[in-house]
């Protein structure tokens, strides 16, 4: 496995971190998807749409203060980043899209839930499933996954040879879709047959990693 380099914390964690009761069960599902992506089912997709349709009206109000923190730190300290199109997977209401557009003006934002997607103002929005990304192979300079499951084969397919993966969990190890960085790195290596490296850091209540293909 490639090198994982941890940077010192630059953004302090304030008191009052939220507790998501569903986190542990969701983490088990997310780890299973990272290692066994074929286990994703239509029933899981339907349940995801149902849940996030309910959350859409309150998403920004409940999460807008803390979700951008680790991603902003990743974009400040995780570079340099290649130029080109960025694919934001699981964009939701577009809460993080503005940060990404500052680095990658050509931003394509994808989400599975129409009720979330319609709240985003990003010009290029796509309704789609992360397990079957509706993009051509090798098109993306970056694939950003902020609190969404990892389908490593599709991420690798979408990435340009020098592309990067930006991984962000807004509540860190307590985030519902948190998967530790070593399994994320291993999944990308298995899917690509190449060695990858990662730079990572905690930030606020969350953590982030930027992963690159080395060979």
- Determine the average pLDDT of the residues in 139-152: 96
pTM given for the model: 0.93
Give pLDDT tens digits for 55-86: 999 888 877 788 999 999 999 999 999 999 99
Torsion of the alpha carbons at 137, 141, 144 and 150, rounded to the nearest 10: 40
At 1, the pLDDT band (50, 70, 90 cuts) reads confident
Supply the pLDDT for residue 116: 92
Give pLDDT tens digits for 106-117: 999 999 999 999
Supply the pLDDT for residue 134: 93
Give pLDDT tens digits for 122-133: 899 999 999 999
Phi, psi dihedrals of residue 63, rounded to the nearest 5°: -120, -5
Helix (H) or strand (E) holding 50: helix 42-55
Average pLDDT, the chain: 93
Supply the pLDDT for residue 215: 67
> How far apart are the C-alpha atoms of 194 and 185, rounded to whole Å?
11
Radius of gyration of the chain from its Cα atoms, rounded to whole angstroms: 16
Supply the pLDDT for residue 37: 92
Whether pLDDT at 25 is above 90: no
> How far apart are the C-alpha atoms of 24 and 183, rounded to whole Å?
16
């Amino acid at each position: 496995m490639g090198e994982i380099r941890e940077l010192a914390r630059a953004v302090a964690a304030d008191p009052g971190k939220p507790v998501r009761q569903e986190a542990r069960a969701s983490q088990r599902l997310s780890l299973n998807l990272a290692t066994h992506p074929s286990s994703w089912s239509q029933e899981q997709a339907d349940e995801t749409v149902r849940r996030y349709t309910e959350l859409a009206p309150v998403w920004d109000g409940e999460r807008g203060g803390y979700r951008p923190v680790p991603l902003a730190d990743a974009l400040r300290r995780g570079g340099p980043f290649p130029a080109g199109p960025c694919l934001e997977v699981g964009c939701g209401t577009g809460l993080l899209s503005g940060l990404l557009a500052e680095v990658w003006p050509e931003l394509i934002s994808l989400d599975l839930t129409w009720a979330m997607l319609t709240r985003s103002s990003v010009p290029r929005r796509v309704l789609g499933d992360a397990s079957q990304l509706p993009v051509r192979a090798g098109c993306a300079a970056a694939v950003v996954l902020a609190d969404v499951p990892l389908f490593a084969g599709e991420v690798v397919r979408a990435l340009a040879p020098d592309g990067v993966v930006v991984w962000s969990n807004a509540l860190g190890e307590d985030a519902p879709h948190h998967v530790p960085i070593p399994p994320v790195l291993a999944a990308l290596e298995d899917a690509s047959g190449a060695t990858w490296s990662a730079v990572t850091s905690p930030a606020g209540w969350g953590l982030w990693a930027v992963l690159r293909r080395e060979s």
